[in-house]
Structure 1
Amino acid sequence: MSGFKTLRAQVRRRLLISYRVNPDVAQTLIPEPFRPQIVDGSAVAGVCMIGLQSVRPGWIRPRLGLRSENVAHRIAVEWDEDGVTRSGVYIVERHSSSLLPVLAGGRLFPGVQKRARFTLDETTSRFRVAMSARGIRVAVDVELGGPWNSSLFSTVEEASSFHEHGAVGWSPRRDGRGVEPLELTSTDWMVEPGRVISVQSSFFDQLPEGAAVLDSVVVMRDLPFFWDTPAIVPERVASDSSSVL
């Protein structure tokens, strides 16, 4: 990211919706040198629907920040760095309700972002969020709590750990030459189980039949988040300066 090194925000609501995905199909959606992260024989992908407020560079006071709704379609990936296998997510597309990240995405703000329209109908325990943009639509209805039900993660704590360790997100660069990383952290990381009432994602629905199966959702609420640019480069890219992912 060529603009601010650190961004801060308060997360009002973050829904992490996970899918089981056929590994061969997942591999077609990500560039080299990344590979799908496998859990119980499946790749893991999903939709992150995040409502932010007080979005700002780290040195600006919270009251001056932006407010936005955002969606990211992501695939959990692995890569090799200094002989060590690391994990994170590859972000296929980002969408935002705010015009500034769309215009400045990849410059002042992380990743290239596309403009989208959002509709919200939320309470303290139920989240109805819909996003529509050119060629893509997402609509979710999630209720907080309920029994944990997932074939990927045996407990909500296991799901929380998986998402927390996937903090580095890779996005296509604005100039189309490769990808750039951004690392998300929080001093108060906490997730809660959610119950899916309904989920529609045109991104996953358009994959071959049976290639993507809805698995589970976790909810994060009212937490401070930080985004930093980590100094990391996958080995294949580092060893070939002409490589374009």
Structure 2
Amino acid sequence: MEGTIARRLLVNFRVRPECVRPFLPAPFRPKLVQGWAMAGLCLIRLEGVRPKGFPAALGMASENAAHRIAAEWDEDNGPREGVFILRRETDSRVNLLLGGRVFPGVHHLARFDTWETERRLKIAITEADGRRLVRVAARLGEPWPVNSIFASLKEASAFFQRGSWGWSMDNGGSCEDMVLHIPSWRAEPLFVERVKSGFFDDRKRFPAGSLEFDSALLMRNLLHEWRVLPALAARREAA
């Protein structure tokens, strides 16, 4: 599949590793940065998505969101890295129906309310039952945050570019994967004015002091491809 990333917002949290390990099935483990695990939100608007080689006019647009954890695992030729996706939301009934069946990724239907200018954006995601899932307000034009675990935008961007291999559980209890290929990768720093997440704000999952906001990146107007690789058998470890 190919298309255009109209907008991709990565909101990143640093988390105590022991808090994310229960969410990772074998053989995955948290990818650590200075002793911290990295988790976050990927809020992405896709446009012109269609089978590779088909005319762009046949493509579809959708708003999508993923809660994810940076992960690594071992293969015969050494350790690999990517992200493990805990949950996906979409406003597209096509993604809802085909995700996890025709292409990897089980999706849940949600409402996306978005507002954007060249310098500012707001995104609100509400689940089908009316519960608020995500609220983000952010703006461009700010320097890289001095309290980020990453020393610079370049370092953070490279980390997330290496994490383009995404894994998630299918409905049968096995892992399925998809690689996001962006030939001309580029990202800008965002200053997050407000972020709320029903998942990451849950103090039963993440006790006070175990999770801190780290940084945010914005990517816009980039050609991309989704590539599927052979599935990896995996199951959730006992808590």
How far residue 41 of structure 1 moved from its aligned partner, in angstroms, is: 1.0
State the partner residue of 1:179.
175
| Distance in 2 between residues matched to 1:79 and 1:94, nearest whole Å | 22
How far residue 142 of structure 1 moved from its aligned partner, in angstroms, is: 1.1
| CA deviation map 1:69-113 (0-9, x unaligned) | 000000000100114000000000000011110011112233000
Q: What's the secondary structure of 2:168's corresponding residue?
A: strand
| Distance in 1 between residues matched to 2:132 and 2:120, nearest whole Å | 23
Distance 1:181 1:174, change over 3 A: same
How far residue 231 of structure 1 moved from its aligned partner, in angstroms, is: 3.8
Return structure 1 stretches of 4+ with deviation > 2 angstroms. Answer: 230-233
| CA deviation map 1:223-243 (0-9, x unaligned) | 01111012474xxx5xxxxx6
| Distance in 2 between residues matched to 1:232 and 1:55, nearest whole Å | 23
Would the aligned equivalents of 1:136 and 1:203 in 2 still touch at CA under 8 Å? no
State the partner residue of 2:43.
49
How far residue 136 of structure 1 moved from its aligned partner, in angstroms, is: 5.4
Letter in 2 for 1:244: R
Q: Which runs of 5+ in 2 are unaligned?
A: none
| Distance in 1 between residues matched to 2:132 and 2:87, nearest whole Å | 10
| CA deviation map 1:189-211 (0-9, x unaligned) | 10011111111111100022222
State the partner residue of 1:166.
163
State the partner residue of 1:151.
148
| Distance in 1 between residues matched to 2:141 and 2:29, nearest whole Å | 33
State the partner residue of 2:228.
229
Q: What's the secondary structure of 1:217's corresponding residue?
A: strand
State the partner residue of 1:25.
19
State the partner residue of 1:61.
55
| Distance in 2 between residues matched to 1:214 and 1:39, nearest whole Å | 14
The two structures have a TM-score, normalised by structure 1, of: 0.90
Q: What's the secondary structure of 1:51's corresponding residue?
A: strand
1:244 alignment partner, one of 226, 235, 238 = 235
| Distance in 1 between residues matched to 2:38 and 2:132, nearest whole Å | 20
| Distance in 2 between residues matched to 1:74 and 1:57, nearest whole Å | 25
How far residue 213 of structure 1 moved from its aligned partner, in angstroms, is: 0.9
1:104 alignment partner, one of 98, 105, 108 = 98
| Distance in 2 between residues matched to 1:201 and 1:231, nearest whole Å | 32
1:204 alignment partner, one of 183, 200, 206 = 200
Would the aligned equivalents of 1:129 and 1:141 in 2 still touch at CA under 8 Å? yes
State the partner residue of 2:121.
127
Would the aligned equivalents of 2:4 and 2:49 in 1 still touch at CA under 8 Å? yes
1:217 equivalent in alignment to 2:216: yes
| CA deviation map 1:21-47 (0-9, x unaligned) | 110001011111100000011000000
| Distance in 1 between residues matched to 2:222 and 2:230, nearest whole Å | 25
State the partner residue of 1:240.
none
Would the aligned equivalents of 2:25 and 2:235 in 1 still touch at CA under 8 Å? no
Letter in 1 for 2:15: V
Letter in 2 for 1:23: P
Task: After superposing the two structures, state which structure 1 stretch, 162-171 or 57-66, moved more.
Answer: 57-66
Identity %: 41
RMSD value over aligned CA atoms? Answer: 1.4
The two structures have a TM-score, normalised by structure 2, of: 0.92
Letter in 1 for 2:192: V
Would the aligned equivalents of 2:176 and 2:231 in 1 still touch at CA under 8 Å? no
| Distance in 1 between residues matched to 2:77 and 2:21, nearest whole Å | 22
